[in-house]
Homo-oligomer: A and B are copies of this chain.
């Protein structure tokens, strides 16, 4: 069994935004030399997500509005913020969008559907954060 581990770093200027990372993950799969296996992509921070959906700016704007409705930023709402943080909302938004995706690697490539694209989701930006990519297989 072969394995390959890589880390990506992001520094998003906004509090909340989505970064398209499919091509960077595909490059790591190619570097791994693995042709059949699984590729894990996860946020290493608990106020960020990795998810798969459409690369369409209207949808991303819809997601931001929706997440703000489901878990408003307002720092006074969260006991977590009594620790001196103001990112209680980000810990909730991240649970909706998820921590990780696992993608099949088939014939040396990410085995994605036609419209599937991988995104890094930031919910408490303006700081440096990491994503882990681990490929295992043969």
Contacts and interface: CB of A to CB of B under 8 A. Distances in A.
B98 A97 contact: no
Interface stretch (A13-21, A22-30, A80-88): A80-88
Interface string A21-59: 000000000000000111010111110000111101011
Nearest to A113: B44
Contacts of A116: 44-46
Contacts of A37: 1, 3, 136
Interface string A86-118: 001001101111111111101000011111100
A63 interface: yes
The DSSP consensus for interface residues of chain A is: mixed
Interface in A50-72: 51-54, 56, 58-59, 61-63, 66, 70-71
Contacts of A52: 46, 99
Nearest to A107: B5
Contacts of A82: 58
A79 interface: yes
Contacts of A132: 104, 111, 113
A56 B82 CA distance: 11
A79 to B, nearest CB: 4
Smallest CB-CB A-B distances: 3 pairs: A44-B113, A58-B79, A104-B134
